[in-house]
Structure 1
Amino acid sequence: MIQTNPPRRAARILLALTAMAALVSVDAPDARATAPLGVTAEALPDATADRVGALFAGGLDGGHFCTAAVVRSAGRDVIATAAHCLDHPATTVFAPGYRDGKAPYGVWRLAEVSVSPDWTDGEDPDDDVAFATLAPLDGVRVEDVVGGFPVAAGQPDDVTVTVLGYPSERDAPLRCANSTSLLSDTQRRIECPDLSGGTSGSPWLVDGALAGVLGGYEGGGTVAEVSYSAVLGEEARELYRTAADAP
């Protein structure tokens, strides 16, 4: 049964992370683009791409409609995506590293969802970010399989970001890096071509750490050449702390 913003269960097996600093450190796989800035290309399989996956309706035959990424957590079971991607969490599943019709790391069911009340009440684009915990698969936690990105809020206005996401019509992720700018105090903008429908929820990575997700203003953008992300503010960080069991 899906619950929204419930108290988190204690992690059953693994050692809990002892401080938020451990969760937001940046010793993650190198997420630098393999193409020049502003150029979109297929993301080659690697440790970074394996942590990113497609969200499907029911199963692999249900079609993928959004993107999500595994982030670090005490329970080793949390993904980040756009809030507008989780309208139907009970039937949504996550396939990390999905490629060519196959889910090499399994298909994971959502267990709990954390979204802002401001998104629930009015779909405020500044709160278009969400975290969800995944049920174990055969007794294993998703982060033990593919690892997870640390979370790093508070980035400079013009920071260079790498975006990885799954357009709905493709069966492999795309990757693009470019410098960003602020559309407003609460919305970040990037110019990358071909990030069309299905890339909502894609992680925005800075030095291998998640600094946003594709979404927010205009649902993430109405043209494939320009995308947006809500700036991760205190409310988003609190959602993450709740989902991740972080202090």
Structure 2
Amino acid sequence: MIPRLLTRPDRRSPARARRTSRILAALAAMTALLGVDLPDALAEPPLGVTARAVPDTTADRVGALFAGGLDGGHFCTAAVVRSDDRDVIATAAHCLGDPAGTVFAPGYRDGKAPYGVWRLTGVHLAPGWTDGEDPDDDIAFATVATLDGRRLEDAVGGGFPVAAQQPDDATVTIIGYPSEDEAPLRCANGTTLFSETQRRIDCPELSGGTSGSPWLVDGALAGVLGGYEGGGAVPEVSYSAVMGDQAVELYREAAVSD
């Protein structure tokens, strides 16, 4: 709605009053034009709608996992989480089959890694995953090396806190990188429990490459895209293992210094 413009009569000269009136009318017309034709660039898309994620402090803490380097192609997504040494990322366990050859590029867009390319130095996987690839344990944490003397969280401005025990119908925001796209997508929607150990969300276009994408509840990591069917057999429906005691223990192992 365009606010009503109120003016005082200009008692100094009729010409100035007419000129002021014309200026105000022009401003009102411009306000109407902007309000109708130009969407708010910062407005979030409606629930259940997937759109390109705008660069901001949230998206910059999410990045793509590459095989070897930026020319190796990105195949999964990961996110920076808080840790004592400021060097931990969270992703799906099934994304870490070759951690020695994997690097992380936070904020990656259009072929560029504005915060650098970070080499993985260690992984933390649940026994249920390493022994039998249990989808309920398809969440993992990894550490990265310093880069040019800097820690990962210092480079991107912090990390997401980790929060387990979310309500069954929590509203989740997902940011992830489909393999065929060179920028992250974003979708938020309500969730349901598919089972006691798996959470489900309806968001379109979250295709291959979005595995490991953070599931954020009020800015805290509550899961990652993965689990049942590797995170989902169709792009319209995705899953995450419910973050239970085992996942929290993995996080503590990775995040807390001895």
Give the TM-score normalised by the residue count of structure 2: 0.82
Alpha carbons of 1:33 and 1:222: their partners in 2 closer, same or farther (altered >3 Å)?
farther
Per-residue CA deviation, residues 36-72 of structure 1 (Å, 9 max, x unaligned), is 0000000000000000000000000000000000000
Task: Give the number of the structure whose alpha-carbon radius of gyration is greater.
Answer: 2
In structure 2, the partner of 1:109 is 119
Alpha carbons of 1:91 and 1:126: their partners in 2 closer, same or farther (altered >3 Å)?
same
Per-residue CA deviation, residues 91-120 of structure 1 (Å, 9 max, x unaligned), is 000000000000000000000100001100
- Cα distance in 2 between the residues matched to 1:33 and 1:177: 13
Alpha carbons of 1:227 and 1:76: their partners in 2 closer, same or farther (altered >3 Å)?
same
1:50 maps onto 2:60 in alignment: yes
Counterpart selection for 1:131 from 122, 134, 141: 141
1:86 maps onto 2:89 in alignment: no
In structure 2, the partner of 1:207 is 218
Secondary structure at the aligned position of 1:69 is classed as: strand
Per-residue CA deviation, residues 124-151 of structure 1 (Å, 9 max, x unaligned), is 0000000000000011100011110000
Matches within 5 A, 1:131-170: 131-146=141-156, 147-170=158-181
Secondary structure at the aligned position of 1:66 is classed as: strand
In structure 1, the partner of 2:105 is 95
* Structure 1 unmatched runs, 5+: 1-31
Secondary structure at the aligned position of 2:58 is classed as: helix
1:33 positional shift: 7.8
In structure 2, the partner of 1:173 is 184
- Coordinate RMSD, CA, aligned: 1.2
Partner AA of 2:250 in structure 1: L
Give the TM-score normalised by the residue count of structure 1: 0.86
Indicate the percent of aligned positions where both proteins have the same amino acid.
79
In structure 2, the partner of 1:67 is 77
Partner AA of 1:119 in structure 2: W
Counterpart selection for 1:226 from 237, 245, 250: 237
Equivalent pairs, count: 216
- Cα distance in 1 between the residues matched to 2:251 and 2:71: 30
- Cα distance in 1 between the residues matched to 2:134 and 2:100: 22
Identify the structure with bigger relative contact order (alpha carbons < 8 Å, sequence gap 6+). 1
Q: 8 Å contact 1:33–1:175 — kept in the other structure?
A: no
Q: 8 Å contact 1:33–1:176 — kept in the other structure?
A: no
In structure 2, the partner of 1:238 is 249
Secondary structure at the aligned position of 2:46 is classed as: coil
Please list every run of at least 4 consecutive aligned residues from structure 1 whose deviation after the TM superposition is greater than 6 angstroms.
Answer: none
Q: 8 Å contact 2:85–2:257 — kept in the other structure?
A: no
1:198 maps onto 2:209 in alignment: yes
* Structure 2 unmatched runs, 5+: 1-41
- Cα distance in 2 between the residues matched to 1:118 and 1:237: 14
Alpha carbons of 1:193 and 1:145: their partners in 2 closer, same or farther (altered >3 Å)?
same
- Cα distance in 2 between the residues matched to 1:120 and 1:207: 31
